[in-house]
Amino acid sequence: MNNIVLFAVFPYLAVIIAIIGTIYRYFDHRFSYSSLSSQLLESRWLFWGSVTWHYSIITILTAHLLAALFPSMWQLLVSEPLRLYTMEITGWALGLLSIIGCVFFIARRMTNPRVRAVTSIMDWVLLLSLLLQVILGVWVAMLYRWGAAWYLYTAVPWFFSLLTLNPQVDLVANLPLIVQLHFLGGFWIFALLPFSRLVHILPFPITYLWRPYQVVVWNRR
């Protein structure tokens, strides 16, 4: 029963919350559809945290997505030992960079009084959730090797069983607890999407392609 709640009910609940909450926020608080940047309050820590975090986490998520969308090609890619070793080492390195970037974000909000003043409870919930998720990911990679290969036979079919509305709980029910928490953590963060700064990943600034130049004039005494 617990497995059904965790691996069949919770993912759908998280997606429903994310979709409904995102739509509501768009129509009711449209101007909050951004990262609500505090860069003007402090930029040095933000720069190093943002660069480290975004480059590493985007690469990691892209690899996860490619493996899910093209499992046959991914299986062929990791079937050769040298390529599999390379994927593992690269994954560890990117995971550590993600942790460093997230620590920069947290330290910035803890040490700068001006930034801390504009930090909400949801900001802390999101940052700690992201930090825990990447730590779990690195932990899984360290304890349960060759995740780039066994991911294809556990997470990927479970995910697609959710998409087809026929959740196969048995695919993940017997996995180690750390792996299960990492899987569930992704849906938890997805559920936080409409309530946090994470919503800024949704708008696409396509209009920048044809928008005229904006002239900014500083008015200083």
The pLDDT value given to residue 186: 94
In a domain, 220, yes or no: no
In a domain, 221, yes or no: no
Q: How many residues does the chain have?
A: 221
DSSP assignment, residue 195? G
Q: How far apart are CA 199 and CA 193, in angstroms?
A: 5
Domain count, the chain: 1
In a domain, 219, yes or no: no
The pLDDT value given to residue 108: 87
Residue 36 has pLDDT above 70, yes or no: no
Instruction: Give residue-wise pLDDT tens across range 95-149.
Output: 999 999 999 999 888 888 888 888 889 989 999 999 999 999 999 999 998 888 8
The pLDDT value given to residue 60: 94
Q: What is the reported pTM?
A: 0.84
Per-residue tokens: 69: 């969308």
Going by pLDDT thresholds of 50, 70 and 90, the confidence category of residue 221 is low
CA distances (Å), 159 to each of 152, 183, 184, 203, in order?
A: 10, 10, 11, 25
Query: Residue 38's CB: how many other CB atoms inside 10 A?
Result: 20
**What is the C-alpha radius of gyration for the chain, rounded to an integer number of angstroms?**
20
Per-residue tokens: 187: 């849906």
Report the mean per-residue pLDDT for the chain: 86
In a domain, 214, yes or no: no
Domain of 156: which CATH number? 1.20.950.20
Q: How far apart are CA 11 and CA 139, in angstroms?
A: 22
In a domain, 117, yes or no: yes
Q: Which domain holds residue 115?
A: 2-209
In a domain, 218, yes or no: no
